[in-house]
Every structure is written in C-alpha cells, then in structure tokens.
C-alpha cells in the first residue's frame, strides 16, 4: 500500500523519528507504523486516532498500542509526538492542548500535513502554547514542522471545549452539543434542516442515524417520536462523544457507537435516516456513502424506510433505484435533495 504524502515526507527525515516511546496522532498509514518500528526496533509505539476506520487498520499492526477515543490520556510521557494535521483548525488546537500533558519535558512534537489542508497556519494556531516552532522540510505539497510546549500550560479540561447551540424542529427545542472538528459547527446546516422538514410523518420502532455527527437527526427524531429506539453511529470519535452529549443535554435515550460504514451494525431497522458524509480531509470521497446506499437494505425490515439528504449534484438516485423497490425524490431546495426509499 502506498504511503500518503505526509508519511513520505516524514520518512525522508528519518533521523527525527528516533524515539523510545513515540506517539502517532491521526496517522492514516499502517505501513508508516511498520517503518517507524524498523527505525526504532526496541521502542514502545502508540497510535491515537479519532477516525475509527484508521484506528482499525493501525490496530492490526503487531506491537502497536492503538487507541480510539475523543480524549487521549496516559501517565507515561512520550518523547516524540507525530501529529498529522487534521482537517479542522479548531480540532488541531484541541489536540495540542490535550497532548501537552503527555509529552516528556525533553520531548519533541512533529506536525506534518498537506499544504492545501492548512498546515501552514499551524504555527499561528499554536502560538499561545508552543515554543521553538520551526519549519523543517517541505515536499510532495506537504510541510513538516517541529516545536515543544511552553511550561505551565493550564490543565486540559475537555468540558471547556464543548460548544452548544439551540435548534427548533417540529415545534420542539433542542440543545446541540459538539466538540471541535464535528460537522456544522455552531449552527444547523441547510441539508439537515431540509431533511428534518421532510421526515416520515409517523416514525416508530428501531431507527438508525447513519453518520450522526453531533446527533442532531437522532435527537430530533427521539424528541418528536416517543415510540422509537434510536441507534446513532459515526466513524469519528469526536462526533460520537458529541452525540452522547446532545442526548444527555436533552434528557433523551439512545445508543451511540463507532462504525466504519456499516461494519459494526447488526439487527434490522424500521427507519434509516442520514445526512451521509462525502467529504474526507481536503479531498472528496463518495465510496463510504455509495457502499452504505448499496448495503443498508440488508439491515432494514421488509417494509423499512430510508430517508437521506445529499447535495443535488451527487448522483445517488440510480444507486437507490437499483436496490429499493420504491424510490422518490421528495424535496429539492437550496442545492440539496431528499431521497426516500422503501
């Protein structure tokens, strides 16, 4: 498997990768883990990912201590942290504040990322808690930086990173909570708003919110339709934690779990509702959603119903018509389409 460009840039600076207890943060490449093991055969290597799909891949690498959660904590200090720049600048700041307590006082942090993904802004974003920030190298449209943390950084408190906003839907008011990096920060996005206005009129039984993000769709359904059992899934640990916070903030019950597509889904659902993702990083990816549309029928009851919202330019209708006996385009507004299947 080919290494990503950021990983290739790191390996051409392999003299910087020597460490006893390195931590990889959001590394997408299992092969880079193996390269790091070759450089440090006696090291204890850890990997922390907020993306469950990436976590699953890295956890299969022998002798890698893989972690998946919204919050990385460890008593043992790392002498090297290698951080792949995330797609959200706010998430980058969150990660830095979270990681500061786990870096050894003589340790080093390397930040690597695609130039178009915003890594060039990393020094400015980190200026309040870092020192000796310097650019080390650039190649393959990527840049590599290093720094250490300042002394006396305030203790990390995850609660201080939780933001919230209020929405109105179906005559019900709900508080939406989210951590950094979760889709549609601070407001209800147009696509989800259109979807909520075009839900089936009477929802009951088991409901799946696929790609739940901060939990808006699942929470609204549970609030409006009491006779429902809500399952919510996402590939992102920050989203999973946010959806749980949203349910708690509104005194609602629901099951929220991590899944790479439908990998961890079992059972059958009467309703599946989704604003499925199609962006990943700085590139556009459709594979996850197209696989979901193809396979989700296996997890639906005989009369199960699927309602999704998607950008109007996405050609999902032919896929849905192929796999469902009934298909209808029930709304088309503001660049979004609502697809309904049964």
Q: Supply the DSSP symbol for 260.
A: S
Domains in the chain, CATH or no CATH each? 5-158 (3.40.50.150), 162-341 (3.40.50.150)
In the structure encoding, which two tokens stand for residue 2, read together?
């080919």
User: For residue 162, what are the CA distances in angstroms to 152, 205, 206?
Assistant: 23, 31, 29
pLDDT at 62: 96
149: left (phi over 0), alpha (psi -120 to 50) or beta: beta
Q: Tell me, what's the pLDDT at 286?
A: 64
Of 109, 33, 98, 108, which is closest to residue 65 (Cα–Cα)? 33
What is the model's pLDDT at position 248?
Answer: 98
Position 283 scores a pLDDT of 46
Q: Residue 174: what pLDDT?
A: 97
pTM confidence score: 0.95
Segment (H or E) for 303: strand 300-311
pLDDT at 170: 86
Coil, helix or strand at residue 54: helix
> Tell me, what's the pLDDT at 76?
86
**pLDDT computed for residue 187 by the predictor:** 85
**Distance between CA 328 and CA 331 in Å, rounded?**
9
Averaged pLDDT in 10-residue chunks for the chain of 342 residues: 92 98 98 98 98 97 97 94 96 98 96 96 97 97 98 94 94 95 87 96 96 97 96 98 98 98 96 81 63 94 96 92 95 96 96
CA distance 275 to 16: 42
pLDDT at 278: 64
């Amino acid at each position: 498997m080919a290494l990503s460009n950021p990983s290739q840039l790191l390996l051409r600076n392999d003299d910087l990768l020597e460490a006893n207890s390195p931590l990889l943060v959001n590394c997408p490449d299992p092969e880079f883990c193996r390269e790091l093991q070759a450089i440090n055969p006696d090291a204890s290597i850890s990997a922390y990912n907020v993306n469950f799909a990436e976590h699953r891949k890295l956890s299969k690498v022998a002798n890698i201590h893989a972690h998946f959660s919204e919050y990385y904590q460890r008593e043992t200090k790392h002498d090297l942290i290698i951080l792949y720049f995330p797609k959200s600048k706010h998430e980058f700041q969150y990660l830095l504040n979270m990681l500061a307590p786990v870096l050894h006082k003589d340790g080093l942090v390397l930040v690597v990322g695609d130039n178009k993904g915003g890594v060039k802004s990393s020094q400015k974003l980190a200026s309040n808690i870092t020192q000796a920030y310097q650019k080390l190298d650039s190649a393959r449209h990527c840049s590599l930086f290093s720094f250490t943390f300042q002394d006396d950084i305030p203790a990390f408190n995850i609660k201080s990173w939780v933001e919230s906003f209020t929405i109105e839907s179906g005559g019900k008011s709900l508080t939406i909570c989210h951590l950094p990096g979760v889709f549609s920060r601070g407001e209800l996005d147009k696509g989800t708003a259109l979807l909520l206005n075009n839900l089936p009129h009477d929802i009951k039984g088991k409901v799946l919110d696929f790609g739940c993000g901060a939990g808006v769709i699942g929470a609204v359904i549970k609030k409006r339709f009491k006779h429902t059992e809500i399952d919510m899934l996402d590939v992102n640990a920050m989203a999973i934690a946010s959806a749980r916070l949203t349910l708690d903030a509104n005194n609602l019950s629901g099951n929220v779990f991590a899944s790479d597509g439908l990998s961890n889904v079992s059972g059958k659902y009467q309703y599946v509702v989704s604003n499925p993702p199609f962006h990943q990083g700085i590139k556009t990816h459709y594979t996850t959603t197209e696989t979901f549309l193809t396979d989700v029928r296996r997890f639906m009851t005989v009369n199960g119903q699927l309602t999704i919202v998607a950008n109007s330019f996405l050609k999902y209708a032919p896929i849905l018509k192929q796999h469902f006996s009934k298909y209808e385009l029930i709304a088309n507004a503001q660049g979004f389409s609502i697809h309904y299947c049964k």
